[in-house]
Structure 1
Amino acid sequence: MAAAARPGSPGPAGTGASRCSRRGQRIPPAPLSAAGRAGCRRPGALRLRLRGGPAPGASSPLGAAAGGGIRPQCTARRTDSISLTSPAGRPPGPAGPAPRPPRRHRQPATGVGPGAAPAPGTAPAPPSGTAPAPAPGTEPAPGTAPGTAPPPEPVNCLDQHVEKSPNRVALIWERDEPGTAVHVTYRELLDLTCRLANTLKKYGIQKGDKVAIYMSVSPLSVAAMLACARIGAVHTVVFAGFSAESLAGRITDSGCKAVITYNQGVRGGRIIELKATVDEAVKNCPSIKHVFVAQRTDNKVQMGDRDIPLEEEMAKAASVCPPESMDSEDMLFMLYTSGSTGKPKGIVHSQAGYLLYAALTHKYVFDYQQGDVFGCVADIGWITGHSYVVYGPLCNGATSVLFESTPVYPDPGRYWEVVQRLKINQFYGAPTAIRLLLNYGEEWVKKYDRSSLKTLGSVGEPINNEAWQWFYQVVGEGRCTLVDTWWQTETGGICIAPRPSEEKAEIVPAMAMRPFFGIVPVLMDENGKVIEGNDVSGALCIAQPWPGMARTIYGDHQRFVDAYFKAYPGYYFTGDGAYRTKKGYYQITGRMDDVINISGHRLGTAEIEDAMADHPEVPETAVIGYPHKIKGEGAFAFIVVKEQTAHIDRVKEELKTIVASKIAKYAVPDHILVVKRLPKTRSGKIMRRLLRKVVTEQSGNMGDVTTLDDPNVVKEILDAYQKYKEKSSS
């Protein structure tokens, strides 16, 4: 929650989503104490100190806070199903929630239905007509009568921590340059945020305006997100690798008034021309009034009439910026995901519910303890970076690592060298990176001390068993908890993961397992009926609202309804298939469009991929379904083999034998095609729908390919497929 959430506001009309339990009055933000603000008021040059922490009291360009006047106490009311209309029967508008009904006093919901007992371990709700009891360890503010609402608390992501521990490190920026790091305290981050926020306000950015952020991972990019939130503007972060066309499309769809960018980016030792990309994009974006340009490198770039040197303006700006008062259901940010229709979807997340969910999942899934160094190596351009680099960790007062580089720069030991040097306690990364590093062997891992690690996490796609075991045994030395997390951009935070759980409860390798607090997963059959019992498979849906769920697709609420609620009315359809084990754990089997039906047998392509990944010569696989005249559907496998592999035909036969022995003969792919690489997004996900287009010969209509890391991979695969067809026919 960036700006101050105004309590007492409803969740999405009719959904039963989180409401704040206080009375609904608009409360002005409270100023920080003199101690908390010490060192934050002096103007001067903005600078970063490398390696060590900043000098005491030094001013820095690194401040940002999700800014609101209070931390709302939010609860979710359980409903039998999810409704998408307001009390008047109208869906929420594309730019926000439905009109709020008249305020009325109400008892906070418990999340288990009216009149039901509170969940185990939770305190009962206060009697109707009384204020919520203060949290344990807190006292009413001076001058506040017992039982009445206290003055607003400091802002969630920065101010509250500056008030208590101004010199605690908020961010450690692991720059692309090996061995260099920037430590940023909460006080410095607040200073930077307020200066950036005041700069935006100076140039006309107001509450409700949209701002695009096109920056590499850095404290300044975090500050940009939180500065927008502080003044009530809506940020949409665009991954700093997207093309000018992709950037322009997102700017146009969201109606952004400004772009914040760097002159250049640096990643993997390469220079990325960010400002030049922005210049090309905004040529066709009349809504853009200003482009704020920061300096990541010393190289000069061309500056036009609407370009503003960001650091120069921030140095002149005030270091105090009162947070805007916001409704709990106001938009916090939009984040675009690619869609098969060719038009990216602007997923909208709200203020209070999103932050609450990000903070709770960060704390309990990873067992975060105060003083831990949390290392999520995701880019802020993705939802993982939003929730587990920025909002979740900062709300919890954590030290969060910003990783600007790549896993193999300057060598495949980069991750583990960073773990040793920064003494990272929780490490959260993608299976794609783990599989990549697995191919380089164990020596790059064992070269470095990883004794600081307590928890490992996997995110982005199902992790295969081989990668899980390597991650657990080699990286974690068999002693770290490994959580395979399942969630989506649309869910806002982790929904299914092995933790939290009872102490020392079992963790099944490569399985998400347990739903998080308030998440009620159900499996649905092809007729839209709930599948009861265990040892069953079906479409994974969620039966009741939760605080972090997306509120709409910006500008197209009907598309939101159609995509997530139409297939199974009353339930949120995740698009994934899942298997519920005999013990009741959940195993994600892949996207439903990645589930194939071979001779009446439903089979997740991820299962075939997992089996094939056991072959030592095959580091990567992707399996898709294709129409088969006899079986209905068949399996077509794309594989990448190691460079030294000589006998391709032998490898193919061995793969078929592995699949037959691990799954069944019916699961053996009819075709296996060797390619140099697979089509992946910049976040590492394999775009299997493109492979399906190739096999079904629909290459003329590929849909949205803007998220591909390298669009040239499509032509490479098409050429390989044509040669394979010609060889097969002859």
Structure 2
Amino acid sequence: MTEPQASQPQAAPQRIPTPRSVVQRLQYDPQADIERAAQDAEAFWLEQAKTFVWTKEPGQALKWDRPHHTWFADGETNITLNALDRYAKGEARTRAALIWITEDEQAHIYTYGTLHDRVERFAAGLQSIDVKKGDRVIIYMPLTPEGVIAMLACARIGAVHSVVYAGLGAGALRDRIEDAGAKVVITADVGYRRGKLVDLYAIAAEAIQELVGVDYLVLHERITNLHREHDSRTVDFQELMKQGKAEAVPVNAEDPLFILYTSGSTGKPKGVVHTHGGYMVGTSYHMKALYDVHPGDVFFCTSDIGWIVGHSYIVYGPLVSGSTIMFREGAPDFPDTGVLWRLIEKFGVNVLFTAPTTLRMFMKLGEQVLKPYDLSTLRVVACAGEALNPEAWRWAQEHLGGGTGEGAHAVVIDNWWQTELGAPTIGTHPRWDAKPGYAGKPLAGVDADVVDEQGNPVPVGQQGYLVIRKPFPSMMRGIHGNPEKYAAVWNENPAGYTSGDLAMKDEHGYISILGRSDDVLSVAGHRIGSADVEDALVSHPAVAEAAVIGVPDSIKGEAIHAYVILRRGFEGQVGRGLRASIIEHVRHILGPIGTPAAIEVVESLPKTRSGKIMRRVLRAQAMGQDPGDLTTLEG
């Protein structure tokens, strides 16, 4: 951990009230929930749980023996009963569940009835290739309805899905398949990005080449016969759709729903485990309580199913809540910078969920990009995944929300959470005053604080560690195959779950997220461990040793800067070609998000006497700052 430093005195950011014209458009006021949860959080969450469909209704909420906790453990359900069946067999069956937009702006609408039918069929197809309850299935798919159908089909039969972002390379995919112990991998022939084809099948086939535990590679063909040579384990996605229909398999509330890999501070990515019951209750609650989304609304999320935001707010949260989710394959500024705003106008989007990186990109392009479009149907613009800087908040509130005065039609809200937490944890509710640069306050049922290393609350305005004192339903239940690492996040600080983030609290309870306390990089909101990038670098034949740091980037938040020591024999080859070779090597292993923006060849790296690389020294040098105490530096 980085030792928290006393914060420098600074002017308190102004609190900005939500315009009355926006408040009048909001449907939900969470204040009663916050007060109820403060009195008895367990009773509050049990009340929420009982609004769902259960095959056996739970009678208990939390059971906690730190670090382990369960929620609704005496209950049985299946998340697809709540996401599909309860809407598909009633009046809501003709309601739009998914609006999928292709990169060239073709719209495909799936009603709840249609989606339910497709999921039933693909679930039966998975059963036909011997996928059973508890089996792990890797989904390496572009952002298409088939990816969503695959996730829901796994859930329906009690199999555990693990979605791998389709921008990661073969090495990263192989690591996740091995760690999960997956017997089936589902992929597509291609994805589309900025008008170009990404050959996903070739990457998936390479990843499983030596993995004898993988029985089937399921292929969704988007272009007929694009791949004439198939791995012998390949089966056709559409053929599996012809095997009948599968009923939802009742599962215990604590049975695993999915494993999602995220970067830790050391070693390989960790497989975060979420369950059917608690995750279902927590994620869907925030659709209404924070994002103010209700049946009949159109909710546009610009994330991807490969990340927790995509799991929670493209798939499970919206569908369990009975709302309409819109998502799109492709980059937000392609084929031109107006595509997102045209779609918002065309489909009457009510709530937009996007990343600060996206807002900063359009801020840089200028508000003239937005002027041709009517965005008045928007009432909430939610941002998460990385820090939302005050300048981006103000720009978005002015140009997406209509300003801060009466006549504004929408409010920009910040919120903070993690893969491990499953759902929003700290946020600024649309009805609350905004404080740019602050994520907000703990939400209903969340006990969060900023503490020192001994677990004591730090004074207002002082930097400390952000912790969660008690579990809430959507929190992870474990780390797949690594109980020790899971226990560490609860035992590292006496106060509770350690988020790995540094934070500061003001006198009104608003919390500002200041950055990571560990060696995790955040590139465009995507977490990646420095160890992952360094391992990829040193696997290049020219690299003997490597260290990476994050440096500020005006669009992505952080960019990866790599320092490498070359192996003997390569010293005279330093040049653009070698740097490009190293960058492309890392891209092949980790995909674009793990690719260094710059490679710097050095003769040595700053290390402690015990051999640990002092990345803070590299970071200080890159930023032109004082590196501080160097007494532990190797002589």
The interval holding the TM-score normalised by the smaller chain is 0.7 to 0.9
**1:455 & 1:467 partners in 2: Cα distance?**
15
State which of 575, 578, 582 in structure 1 corresponds to 2:507: 582
- Amino acid aligned to 2:319: L
- Amino acid aligned to 1:344: P
SS class of match (1:494): coil
Do the aligned residues in 1 keep the contact of 2:78 with 2:250 (CA within 8 Å)?
A: no
Report the alpha carbon displacement of residue 284 of structure 1 after superposing the two structures with TM.
2.0
Report the alpha carbon displacement of residue 75 of structure 1 after superposing the two structures with TM.
6.8
2:253 is the counterpart of 1:270: no
Alignment-derived partner of residue 450 in structure 2: 523
2:345 is the counterpart of 1:420: yes
- Amino acid aligned to 2:433: E
Alignment-derived partner of residue 618 in structure 1: none
Alignment-derived partner of residue 67 in structure 2: 84
Return closer, same or farther for 1:377/1:725 CA change in 2, 3 Å cut-off: closer
State which of 495, 500, 521 in structure 1 corresponds to 2:425: 495
- Amino acid aligned to 2:310: G
Name the Cα RMSD after superposition. Answer: 3.7
Superposed CA deviations along residues 624-668 of structure 1, whole A, max 9, x for unmatched, are xxxxxxxxxxxx994568xxxxxxxxxxxxxxxxxxxxxxxxxxx
Superposed CA deviations along residues 18-40 of structure 1, whole A, max 9, x for unmatched, are 9979999xxxxxxxxxxxxxxxx
Return closer, same or farther for 1:338/1:713 CA change in 2, 3 Å cut-off: same
Return closer, same or farther for 1:273/1:395 CA change in 2, 3 Å cut-off: same
Do the aligned residues in 2 keep the contact of 1:214 with 1:238 (CA within 8 Å)?
A: yes
Alignment-derived partner of residue 375 in structure 1: 300
Return closer, same or farther for 1:76/1:538 CA change in 2, 3 Å cut-off: farther
2:406 is the counterpart of 1:512: no
2:480 is the counterpart of 1:550: no
State which of 389, 396, 416 in structure 2 corresponds to 1:471: 396
Report the alpha carbon displacement of residue 78 of structure 1 after superposing the two structures with TM.
8.9
State which of 592, 601, 606 in structure 2 corresponds to 1:709: 592
Alignment-derived partner of residue 40 in structure 1: none
- Amino acid aligned to 1:304: D
Superposed CA deviations along residues 275-307 of structure 1, whole A, max 9, x for unmatched, are 111110111211110111112234521223211
Return closer, same or farther for 1:374/1:417 CA change in 2, 3 Å cut-off: same
Alignment-derived partner of residue 112 in structure 1: none
SS class of match (1:275): helix
Do the aligned residues in 2 keep the contact of 1:175 with 1:405 (CA within 8 Å)?
A: yes
Alignment-derived partner of residue 210 in structure 1: 136
State which of 378, 389, 392 in structure 1 corresponds to 2:314: 389
SS class of match (2:370): helix
State which of 162, 167, 171 in structure 1 corresponds to 2:98: 171
Count of residue pairs the alignment pairs up: 517
Moved more, 291-300 or 223-232: 291-300
2:493 is the counterpart of 1:568: yes
SS class of match (1:195): helix
Aligned-residue sequence identity (percent) comes to 34
Report the alpha carbon displacement of residue 686 of structure 1 after superposing the two structures with TM.
3.0
Alignment-derived partner of residue 540 in structure 2: none
2:558 is the counterpart of 1:686: yes
Return closer, same or farther for 1:558/1:593 CA change in 2, 3 Å cut-off: closer
Do the aligned residues in 2 keep the contact of 1:248 with 1:284 (CA within 8 Å)?
A: no
| Moved segments of 4+, more than 6 Å | 15-24, 151-154, 697-702
Superposed CA deviations along residues 422-476 of structure 1, whole A, max 9, x for unmatched, are 2111001111111112111111111211111110011110111111111111122
Return closer, same or farther for 1:200/1:586 CA change in 2, 3 Å cut-off: same
Report the alpha carbon displacement of residue 76 of structure 1 after superposing the two structures with TM.
4.4
**1:172 & 1:23 partners in 2: Cα distance?**
28
Alignment-derived partner of residue 345 in structure 1: 270
Do the aligned residues in 2 keep the contact of 1:486 with 1:497 (CA within 8 Å)?
A: yes
SS class of match (2:335): coil
Which one has the bigger strand percentage? 2
Report the alpha carbon displacement of residue 264 of structure 1 after superposing the two structures with TM.
1.1
Return closer, same or farther for 1:483/1:70 CA change in 2, 3 Å cut-off: farther
Which structure 2 residues correspond to residues 419-458 of structure 1 after superposition, within 5 A?
419-458=344-383
**1:449 & 1:324 partners in 2: Cα distance?**
45
Return closer, same or farther for 1:425/1:286 CA change in 2, 3 Å cut-off: same
State which of 215, 226, 233 in structure 2 corresponds to 1:300: 226
**2:479 & 2:307 partners in 1: Cα distance?**
16
**2:598 & 2:457 partners in 1: Cα distance?**
42
Return closer, same or farther for 1:313/1:640 CA change in 2, 3 Å cut-off: closer
Return closer, same or farther for 1:244/1:154 CA change in 2, 3 Å cut-off: closer
Superposed CA deviations along residues 49-86 of structure 1, whole A, max 9, x for unmatched, are xxxxxxxxxxxxxxxxxx9854856874497xx71259
Return closer, same or farther for 1:473/1:263 CA change in 2, 3 Å cut-off: same
Report the alpha carbon displacement of residue 537 of structure 1 after superposing the two structures with TM.
3.2
Superposed CA deviations along residues 242-286 of structure 1, whole A, max 9, x for unmatched, are 111111110000010101111111122110101111110111211
Normalising by structure 2, report the TM-score.
0.74
SS class of match (1:348): strand
Do the aligned residues in 1 keep the contact of 2:79 with 2:277 (CA within 8 Å)?
A: no
Moved more, 574-583 or 393-402: 574-583
**1:483 & 1:407 partners in 2: Cα distance?**
20
Flag the structure with more relative contact order, 1 or 2, with Cα contacts below 8 A and sequence separation at least 6.
Answer: 2
**1:406 & 1:323 partners in 2: Cα distance?**
35
SS class of match (2:352): strand
Return closer, same or farther for 1:183/1:526 CA change in 2, 3 Å cut-off: same
Report the alpha carbon displacement of residue 349 of structure 1 after superposing the two structures with TM.
0.4
Report the alpha carbon displacement of residue 570 of structure 1 after superposing the two structures with TM.
5.1
Which structure 2 residues correspond to residues 597-608 of structure 1 after superposition, within 5 A?
none
2:415 is the counterpart of 1:485: yes
2:409 is the counterpart of 1:409: no
Which structure 2 residues correspond to residues 84-163 of structure 1 after superposition, within 5 A?
84=67, 155-163=81-89
Do the aligned residues in 1 keep the contact of 2:287 with 2:318 (CA within 8 Å)?
A: yes
Q: Which runs of 5+ in 1 are unaligned?
A: 1-14, 25-66, 87-96, 109-148, 596-604, 610-635, 642-677, 679-683
Return closer, same or farther for 1:718/1:328 CA change in 2, 3 Å cut-off: farther
Which one has the bigger helix percentage? 2
**2:214 & 2:201 partners in 1: Cα distance?**
14
SS class of match (1:271): strand
Report the alpha carbon displacement of residue 707 of structure 1 after superposing the two structures with TM.
4.8
Return closer, same or farther for 1:590/1:78 CA change in 2, 3 Å cut-off: farther
Do the aligned residues in 2 keep the contact of 1:491 with 1:548 (CA within 8 Å)?
A: yes
Report the alpha carbon displacement of residue 521 of structure 1 after superposing the two structures with TM.
0.8
Do the aligned residues in 2 keep the contact of 1:71 with 1:153 (CA within 8 Å)?
A: no
Normalising by structure 1, report the TM-score.
0.65
Do the aligned residues in 2 keep the contact of 1:268 with 1:405 (CA within 8 Å)?
A: yes
Which structure 2 residues correspond to residues 214-363 of structure 1 after superposition, within 5 A?
214-301=140-227, 302-314=229-241, 316-318=242-244, 320-363=245-288
